[in-house]
Chains A and B, each alone.
Chain A
Amino acid sequence: MPAVTESLDTVQSVTQSGYKWGFSTDIEMDIAPKGLNEDTIRLISAHKQEPEWLLAWRLNAFAAWKTMTEPHWAKLHHAPIDYQDIHYYAAPKKQSGPKSLDDVDPTLLAMYEKLGIPLKERAILAGVEGTEDAENQRQQIAVDAVFDSVSVATTFRESLAKVGVIFCPISEAVREHPDLVRQYLGTVVPAGDNYFAALNSAVFTDGSFVFIPRGVRCPMELSTYFRINARNSGQFERTLIIAEAGAHVSYLEGCTAPQRDENQLHAAVVELVVMDDATIKYSTVQNWYPGDAEGRGGIYNFVTKRGDCRGARSKISWTQVETGSAITWKYPSCILRGDDSVGEFYSVAVTTNRQQADTGTKMIHIGRNTRSTVVSKGISAGRSDNTYRGLVRVMPRAHNARNHTQCDSLLIGNNCGAHTVPYIESRNSSARLEHEATTSKIADDQLFYCRQRGLSEEDAVNLIVNGFCKEVLKELPMEFAVEAQKLLAVSLEGSVG
């Protein structure tokens, strides 16, 4: 098994205790004073040594945000967010940027090790070299670790650089590849798109930048880990991935967070651009702190993720397993502009205790012969509410558009809710759209059958839940699939009976 999963396994041994990553680290932090105003934004921009055009872009976004109001149409109830009561920038104190891993604060490195993130290239390589298992193709994973707003180190730069792949923190990309960033930033999710995108555009502090040049198949899977640490700091990542004609890349995103009392805001923006014959596969296994059994203190996750299939025969595939967050508001979407372009959305969303999720996808068919596939599996337990909200829109010139959507809900226990709200809009007569939704529970018969065969009730539930999610889990890169299954098991602990 790759180093990543091995370390995670050690951390996440199957115990009965609560959230396993619930610790925080005391490191000297450079924290901006609470509040959101032009000064905060200038501070962030200055700290990151950004060019004038980017500061102007941020300020425009801020101006737009001030004119907008928080959206309230989703099926979510939460305490009002005081946007002035948040630290918008927290970076570990440093003299100057780390030139190599030796320059990184050792406490930080220790924390990453605790989390199971392999920052040391040597560690990864050792892990890779140790492979004997013929059945598993060992994958190299390049990791760009983000610690509370600043990417600390990036590994595997050299191998990627050899083929021209750029994978670095976005703040670095702004300095090293400003033209590229400027060409694409905000072209898929404009600052004025929605309330949280505007907020993000104004105060984003870091995220990943990926550029795959023409015809290149990225030689390894790219991954980023996130963590929110500072009290009252929200995290606003901005990720931009560009795949030029004929390029292919698989990107993994997984997150953890510590236990806190105050709700923490997470408003990320992810923009994907694919040109002719290019593919981006974006996988997320999310493990944000969901709040305690009473729903207090969890992460608020309001994310805008969108992919623009600009080229002909381009393809974007979103796969997500969401089991954390007190509140989830996210709709990874695909704009199918190019002829013959393909959009896919595979999702498992689990809510327990008092979590609320309002999530789904938007597939906009614009070009000819476009295709979209949506498979959404929602699992509700405890007193949670789980809503699938999806849009399939066929524009007038989207001849021969095809969509197949399958939304299934699994209810565990009688105090939760499962809801499906699909919007199906077609303005082209040659389009063929199919949508199906079902609701079910784990039948007593099924549970008894498994138990009679020797499985504990817990194991039986996990088995059946995994069967329910199989179609989605098989879309995940292998390492993630294993983590995802464990995550599902941990999330549903104690929810039956």
Chain B
Amino acid sequence: MLEIKGLTATVEGKAILNGIDLVVPDGEVHALMGPNGSGKSTLSYVLSGREGYEVTGGTATINGRDLLALTPEQRAAAGLFLAFQYPVELPGVGNANFLRTALNAIRRSRGEEELNAVQFLKLARAELKQLSMADDMLKRNVNVGFSGGEKKRNEVLQMAILRPKLAILDETDSGLDIDALKIVADGVNALRAPDFSALVITHYQRLLDYIVPDRVHVLVHGRIVRSGGPELAQELEATGYAAVTAEAA
């Protein structure tokens, strides 16, 4: 479970997050929506520990652990997964090799036994099948030469293999067609469990038809200004962000 209290943060000296209060309990999927520049991606980077983002106040915990005190890889070991909006390329680094290394690093930190190549391959192939993805995804280099849709699907594959406790999806739906969208949604839904929560950051309502959220929050100028059930997303779709933004001002 994710618990954020009064979180403020700056980027290059500019205040972007201006006091975020948010709780995503175990087993729930919450959606975070908002106009461009509201701070959606910033929140995901602050939670995952990217350099260049300075926390100026507040707290964030994952299952009671102080997230902000951990390094990025420690946060991953604590169960955090960020599906990037623009996944970066790693030339020469094989997808399978990358995933096995990451999985074993996380397992090591949890005191679990590492998987050898054969064991890992078995696990990976099973997940690929579930996600209706081709085997050769594993042989390619991480995101090199991948189309936008393929990159997003690679993120979902990684999520399926690493089995995080808290997944943050940063505009995972941008640039996807309906089929790719469904695959992504299926992947996320397959992970739903009593000890799993997700924060789906999206600009558009469409994805939320397939990943139906338990709660929807609206982020404007670095603060959550409204929260509601899934119908809030449809309302925003109809009226746009202007009303909410005006309300918040």
Contacts and interface: CB of A to CB of B under 8 A. Distances in A.
B51 interface: yes
B56 interface: no
B145 to A, nearest CB: 14
Contact of A455 (B50, B82, B92, B105): B105
Interface in B60-76: 71-73, 75-76
A450 interface: yes
B93 A466 contact: yes
Given A444-B51, A463-B98, A453 B162 contact: yes
Interface residues of A, number: 23
A455 B102 CA distance: 5
Contacts of A454: 73, 76-77, 102-103, 105-106, 109, 162
B90 A446 contact: yes
B90 A464 contact: yes
Given A453-B162, A468-B91, A463 B51 contact: no
A153 B90 CA distance: 45
Interface string A307-349: 0000000000000000000000000000000000000000000
Contacts of A446: 88-90
A469 B92 contact: yes
Given A454-B77, A464-B93, A467-B91, A449 B102 contact: no
A470 interface: yes
A454 B103 CA distance: 7
Interface string B80-109: 111010011111111001110111011001
A49 B97 CA distance: 54
Contact of A448 (B51, B98, B105, B162): B51
A463 B93 CA distance: 7
Interface in A441-461: 443-446, 448-457, 459
B110 to A, nearest CB: 10
B18 interface: no
B101 A463 contact: yes
A471 interface: yes
A445 B91 CA distance: 13
Nearest to B84: A449
A464 B144 CA distance: 13
A266 B148 CA distance: 52
A84 to B, nearest CB: 47
Centre residue among A445, A448, A469 by max chain B CB count within 10 A: A448
A453 B76 contact: yes
A298 B80 CA distance: 45
A131 B102 CA distance: 30
B19 to A, nearest CB: 25
Given A448-B51, A463-B101, A456 B73 contact: yes
A438 B92 CA distance: 15
Nearest to A463: B93
Centre residue among A450, A459, A470 by max chain B CB count within 10 A: A450
B88 A452 contact: no
Nearest to B98: A463
Contacts of A466: 92-93
Contacts of A455: 73, 101-102, 105
Contacts of A450: 90, 98, 102
B158 interface: yes
Contacts of B102: 450, 453-455
B216 to A, nearest CB: 25
Contacts of B99: 453
B48 interface: yes
B141 interface: yes
A451 B49 CA distance: 9
Contact of B76 (A445, A451, A470): A451
A457 B72 CA distance: 9
Contact of A451 (B72, B84, B92, B97): B72
B92 A468 contact: yes
Contacts of A464: 90, 93
Given A457-B73, A459-B105, A467-B141, A452 B90 contact: no
Contacts of B101: 455, 459, 463
Nearest to B78: A454
Contacts of B72: 448, 451-452
Interface in A172-193: none
B90 A448 contact: no
Contacts of A456: 73, 105
24 contacts: A443-B88, A448-B51, A448-B72, A451-B49, A451-B73, A451-B76, A452-B48, A452-B73, A452-B80, A453-B76, A453-B81, A453-B99, A453-B158, A454-B76, A454-B105, A455-B105, A456-B105, A463-B101, A464-B90, A466-B92, A467-B93, A467-B94, A467-B141, A470-B92
Interface of A: 443-446, 448-457, 459, 463-464, 466-471
Given A466-B92, A466-B93, A468-B92, 4 more contacts: A446-B90, A448-B48, A453-B99, A453-B102
Leading 5 A-B pairs by shortest Cβ distance: A467-B92, A467-B93, A454-B76, A451-B72, A453-B102
